[in-house]
């Protein structure tokens, strides 16, 4: 673990935000770096046993893709979500696939173990996740503690997938033009890393009717704010075309409700891995998020992009 951290810090600038004016590595190309590694870790480094106590078996930590069956197990819905992105990005059978914001590695396992992908790379900012990922990895999987801005692939990817990560790429204090600049840089970076014909499949929560408010949700995701679909569309303009779009908002309300119930059902394990205050914060966050999707303050979208041949 110590060795891994030492390695990681070489690419990351451990503990620095990289924001203009902050200590540490200056932002590349003047692009703000979104939530600081410390802020992201504050969330995900709550501990693997904590998340294992209420997420599904594969530790998927983003919206599932549910069927109409109200009794469908969450494991199946999470697997169907992974397969949706494999299909939308064209990743099946590929040589090289990148997952930006890989969490606990469920997508890399699905790619390698079920879709015959030869080499799958996952980026995370969380040391806890990376330790877990590496402990469970097969030789076809490469997990890196690395900001997407810093990732320099050895060769281009056939497909890129990113689920539930872009929500960390801007801060609540960033003005709209800065947010679009960040998302534009993200699309440029993805386009530059893809082989011709390769696709990016992106899943994110977005604002439908609301905007940032301090509350139960923002307390869980410090220094982070959601995009709007319009910002993503403007940011991708001239770089990538949209080739697939799904609005699956009710799927995230259902996922948050399922997680909240599982957390309540496994309260002893949750408390053994955390404390009463953390349990309550997460219960409140999941209830508020679920309500936010139900009320259409937020949408959950899955969008597939393909780089334009002439940019
Ligand atoms: C909500 S989790 C989603 C994990 C996974 N995609 C899933 O669906 O289970 C967000 C992930 O994005 C990662 N992340 C956040 N900001 C990042 C950045 N700038 N560069 C790379 N990864 C980032 C976090 O470390 C975490 O692994």
Q: Is the CB of 231 under 6 A from ligand 1?
A: no
The residues spanned by each domain of the chain are 2-307
Query: Between helices 37-44 and 127-136, what is the axis angle to 10°?
Result: 60
Q: Is the CB of 123 under 6 A from ligand 1?
A: yes
Q: Is the CB of 79 under 6 A from ligand 1?
A: no
Q: Which of 98, 124, 126 to mutate to test the pocket of ligand 1 (most atoms within 8 A of CB)?
A: 124
> Residue 18 corresponds to which tokens in the numbers above?
């990289």
Q: Is the CB of 34 under 6 A from ligand 1?
A: yes
Q: What integer is the mean pLDDT of 284-292?
A: 94
Under the banding of pLDDT at 50, 70 and 90, the label for residue 28 is low
Q: What integer is the mean pLDDT of 17-40?
A: 60
Indicate if the pLDDT at residue 23 is higher than 50.
no
Find the 162 Cα to ligand 1 centroid distance in Å. Answer: 8
State which CATH number among 3.40.50.300, 3.30.1130.10, 3.40.50.150, 1.10.10.60 fits the domain covering 2-307. Answer: 3.40.50.150
CA distance 30 to 121: 26
Q: Which of 42, 101, 108, 131 to mutate to test the pocket of ligand 1 (most atoms within 8 A of CB)?
A: 101
202-217 pLDDT, tens digit per residue, is 999 999 997 777 776 7
Indicate the pTM of the whole model.
0.91
**E strands, the chain, where?**
96-100, 119-124, 141-145, 157-163, 194-207, 240-247, 298-307
Indicate if the pLDDT at residue 25 is higher than 80.
no
Q: Is the CB of 168 under 6 A from ligand 1?
A: yes
Sign of the four-CA dihedral 72, 75, 80, 85:
positive
* Beta partners for residue 304, in sequence order: 201, 244
The 3-state DSSP composition of the chain as helix, strand, coil percent (nearest 5) reads 45, 20, 35
- Nearest atom within ligand 1 for CA of residue 35: 16
> 3-state SS of 1-22?
CHHHHHHHHHHHCCCCCCCCCC
Judged by phi (left if over 0) then psi (alpha if -120 to 50, else beta), residue 59 lies in left
Indicate if the pLDDT at residue 31 is higher than 60.
yes
Q: What integer is the mean pLDDT of 301-305?
A: 98
Find the 259 Cα to ligand 1 centroid distance in Å. Answer: 18
Indicate if the pLDDT at residue 177 is higher than 60.
yes
Q: What integer is the mean pLDDT of 5-27?
A: 35
Indicate if the pLDDT at residue 22 is higher than 80.
no
Report the pLDDT value the prediction gives residue 18, as an integer from 0 to 100.
35
* Beta partners for residue 205, in sequence order: 300
Indicate if the pLDDT at residue 8 is higher than 60.
no
Report the pLDDT value the prediction gives residue 255, as an integer from 0 to 100.
98
């Amino acid at each position: 673990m110590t060795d891994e951290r030492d390695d990681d810090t070489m690419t990351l600038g451990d503990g620095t935000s990289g924001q203009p004016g902050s200590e540490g590595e200056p932002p590349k190309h003047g692009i703000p770096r979104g939530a600081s590694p410390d802020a992201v870790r504050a969330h995900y480094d709550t501990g693997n046993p904590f998340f294992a106590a209420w997420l599904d078996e594969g530790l998927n930590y983003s919206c599932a893709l549910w069927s109409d069956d109200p009794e469908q197990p969450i494991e199946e819905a999470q697997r169907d979500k992974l397969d949706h992105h494999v299909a939308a990005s064209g990743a099946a059978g590929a040589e090289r696939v990148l997952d930006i914001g890989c969490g606990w590695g469920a997508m890399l396992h699905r790619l390698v173990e079920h879709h015959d992908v030869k080499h799958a790379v996952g980026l995370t900012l969380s040391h806890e996740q990376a330790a877990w990922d590496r402990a469970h990895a097969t030789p076809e999987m490469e997990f890196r503690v690395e900001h997407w801005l810093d990732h320099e692939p050895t060769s281009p990817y056939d497909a890129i997938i990113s689920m539930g990560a872009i929500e960390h790429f801007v801060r609540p204090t960033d003005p709209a033009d800065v947010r679009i600049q960040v998302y534009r840089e993200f699309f440029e970076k993805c386009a530059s890393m893809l082989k011709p014909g390769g696709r990016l499949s992106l899943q994110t929560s977005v604002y439908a009717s609301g905007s940032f408010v301090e509350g139960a949700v923002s307390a869980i995701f410090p220094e982070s704010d959601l995009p709007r679909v319009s910002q993503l569309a403007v940011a991708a303009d001239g770089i990538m075309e949209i080739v697939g779009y799904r609005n699956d908002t009710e799927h995230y309300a259902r996922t948050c409700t399922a997680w909240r119930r599982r957390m309540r059902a496994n309260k002893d394990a949750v408390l053994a891995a955390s404390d009463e205050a953390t349990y309550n914060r997460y219960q409140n966050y999941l209830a508020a998020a679920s309500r936010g999707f139900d009320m259409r303050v937020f949408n959950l979208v899955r969008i597939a992009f393909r780089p334009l041949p002439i940019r």
